[in-house]
Amino acid sequence: DTAVSQTPKYLVTQMGNDKSIKCEQNLGHDTMYWYKQDSKKFLKIMFSYNNKELIINETVPNRFSPKSPDKAHLNLHINSLELGDSAVYFCASSLAGSGRSYNEQFFGPGTRLTVL
């Protein structure tokens, strides 16, 4: 299936731990994103990578570090997890490039992170 996939779907961990969430897309897109959706369902962009290069880095604690080994993968590593990190994290991808009037984003199914 062509899609954006994320693992794990659920992640429950203790405060202070380090965890990673993986994202892969097989759509041939060159831009990938991480979003955080809080308990009020508001979606906020965290990072955007184009061709493995960071192009957007919103005001996110440096405990969050994205890593893009190649165009098809964008993983999110979180150090020293805090209670406030509990949220649903969505990965997305799109095809950038000039000459396009818009670039549709495709979202993954989300990873629900619960920090105890």
Partner 1 sequence: KNQVEQSPQSLIILEGKNCTLQCNYTVSPFSNLRWYKQDTGRGPVSLTIMTFSENTKSNGRYTATLDADTKQSSLHITASQLSDSASYICVVSGDTNAGKSTFGDGTTLTVKP
Contact window for partner 1 (CB under 8 A) among 19-27, 66-74, 78-86, 104-112:
104-112
Contact window for partner 1 (CB under 8 A) among 11-19, 38-46, 63-71, 73-81:
38-46
DSSP 13: E
DSSP 40: T
Q: Which residues pair with residue 112 across a beta bridge?
A: 10, 88
Token pair listed for 103: 């670039």
The full 3-state SS of 45-96, as one line of letters, equals EEEEEECCEEEEECCCCCCEEEEEEECCEEEEEECCCCHHHCEEEEEEEECC
- Asked if 7 interacts with partner 1 (CB under 8 A), we say no
Among 14, 39, 41, 84, binds partner 1 (CB under 8 A): 41
Cβ proximity to partner 1: between 17 and 44 the closer is: 44
- Asked if 56 interacts with partner 1 (CB under 8 A), we say yes
Among 23, 25, 33, 76, binds partner 1 (CB under 8 A): 33
- Asked if 116 interacts with partner 1 (CB under 8 A), we say no
